[in-house]
Amino acid sequence: MEKTGSQILIDALKKENVEYIFGLPGGVVIPLFDTLFDYSDLKFILTRHEQAAGHAADGYARATGKVGVCLVTSGPGATNLTTAIATAYMDSIPMVAITGQVKTHLIGSDAFQEADVTGITRPISKHNYLVKNIKELGTVIKEAFYIASTGRPGPVVVDLPVDVTTDKWDGDIHEEINLPGYKPSYEGNIRQIKIAAEAINRSKRPVIYAGGGVILSNSSEQLIELAEKANLPVNTTLLALGVFPEDNEKALGMIGMHGTVPANYTVHEADLLIAIGARFDDRITGKIDEFAPCAKIIHIDIDPTSISKNIRVDIPVVGDANNILTELIKHVNYAERKEWFEKIAEWKKKYRLSYDNTSDVVKPQYVVEQICEATKGEAIITTEVGQNQMWAAQYYTYTNPRSFLSSGGLGTMGFGFPAAIGAQLGCPDKIVIDIAGDGSIQMNIQELSTVVKYKLPVKIAILNNGYLGMVRQWQELFYNKKYAHTLLDGNPDFVQVAKAYGADGFLVEKKEDVRPVIEKAISIDGPVVIDFRVDPEENVFPMIPAGQTISQVKGVELI
Amino acid sequence: MKHVISVLVENKVGVLSRITGLFSGRGFNIESLAVGETEDTNISRMTIVVSGDDSILEQVRKQLGKVVDTIKVTDYTGTDYVERNLILIKVSALPGKRNEIIELVDVFRGKIIDVGQKDMIVEISGPEDRLEAVLNLLRPYGIKEVARTGRIAMNRGPK
Chain A: residue whose CA lies nearest to B56: A309
Q: What is the pLDDT of residue A174?
A: 78
Please, are residues A168 and A2 in contact by the beta-carbon 8 Å criterion?
yes
Distances (CA, A) of A541 to A260, A390, A546: 9, 9, 13
> What domains appear along chain A, each with residue ranges and CATH number?
3-169 (3.40.50.970), 190-350 (3.40.50.1220), 364-533 (3.40.50.970)
Residue of chain A whose Cα is closest to the Cα of B13: A130
Does B17 sit within 8 Å of A181, measured CB to CB? no
**Chain segment A193-214, per-residue pLDDT in tens:** 999 999 999 999 999 999 999 9
- The Cα A26–Cα A39 span in angstroms is 19
pLDDT in tens, chain B (159 residues): 899 999 999 999 899 999 999 999 999 989 999 999 999 999 999 999 999 999 999 999 999 999 999 999 999 999 999 999 999 999 999 989 999 999 999 999 999 999 999 999 999 999 989 999 999 999 999 999 999 999 999 999 887
What is the C-alpha to C-alpha distance for residues A438 and A507, in angstroms, rounded to an integer? 13
Q: Least CB-CB distance to A123: which of B25, B66, B69?
A: B25
- Output the pLDDT for position A151: 97
What distances in angstroms separate CA A196 from CA A129, A296, A327, A338, A503, one per listed residue? Answer: 39, 10, 11, 22, 53
Out of B10, B21, B22, whose CB is closest to A181? B10
Please confirm whether the linkage preceding A542 is cis (ω < 30° from 0): yes
Q: Are strands B43-51 and B111-115 parallel, antiparallel or unpaired?
A: unpaired
Strand partners, A436: A462
| CA A232 from centre of chain | 26
Q: Answer for the pair A559, A548: CB distance below 8 angstroms, yes or no.
A: no
pLDDT band at A392 (very low <50, low <70, confident <90, very high): very high
Neighbours of A111 (CB within 10 A): 16
**Cβ neighbours, 10 Å, residue A150:** 19
pLDDT in the model for residue A40? 84
The confidence score (pLDDT) of residue A175 equals 77
| Shortest CA distance from A302: residue in chain B | B66
Q: Which residues are A236's β-sheet partners? A: A210, A254
In this prediction, residues A404-424 reach a mean pLDDT of 98
- Is A308's Cβ below 8 Å from some Cβ in B? yes
Cβ-nearest to A122 among B18, B55, B63: B18
Q: What is the pLDDT of residue B1?
A: 84
Give mean pLDDT, residues A63-85: 98
pLDDT (average), residues A144-155: 98
Mean residue pLDDT across chain A: 97
Distances in Å between the Cα of A129 and the Cα atoms of A117, A133, A140, A337 are: 9, 11, 7, 53
Q: What integer pLDDT is reported at residue A41 of this predicted model?
A: 87
In this predicted structure, the answer to whether residue A364 has a pLDDT above a threshold of 80 is yes
Nearest CB neighbour to A147, from listed B9, B14, B68: B68
What is the interface pTM, i.e. ipTM, of the complex? 0.90
* pTM (global) more than 0.90: yes
Rounded distance between C-alpha atoms, residue A386 and residue A416, angstroms: 11
pLDDT over 90 for what percent of chain A?
97
For the segment A112-116, the average pLDDT, to the nearest whole number, is: 98
**Rounded to an integer, what distance in angstroms lies between the CA atom of residue A482 and that of residue A469?**
13
Q: Do the Cβ atoms of B21 and A122 come within 8 Å? A: yes
Average pLDDT over residues A368-393: 98
In the prediction, which pLDDT does A66 show? Answer: 98
Domains of chain B: 2-75 (3.30.70.260), 82-155 (3.30.70.1150)
For residues B8 and B70, what is the distance between their CA atoms, to the nearest angstrom? 6
Q: What is the pLDDT of residue A195?
A: 98
Name residues 53-92 of chain B within 8 A of A (Cβ): 55, 58-59, 62-63, 65-72
For helices A190-202 and A321-331, the axis angle rounded to 10 degrees is 50
Q: Provide the shortest C-alpha distance from residue B154 to chain A (in Å).
A: 20
Q: What share of chain A has pLDDT > 70, as a percent?
A: 100
User: Among A263, A265, A261, A225, which residue's Cα sits nearest to residue A241?
Assistant: A263
**Contact: A309, B10; criterion CB under 8 Å:** no
Say what the pLDDT of residue A1 is: 84
Residue in A318, A29, A378 with CA at minimum distance from that of residue A196: A318
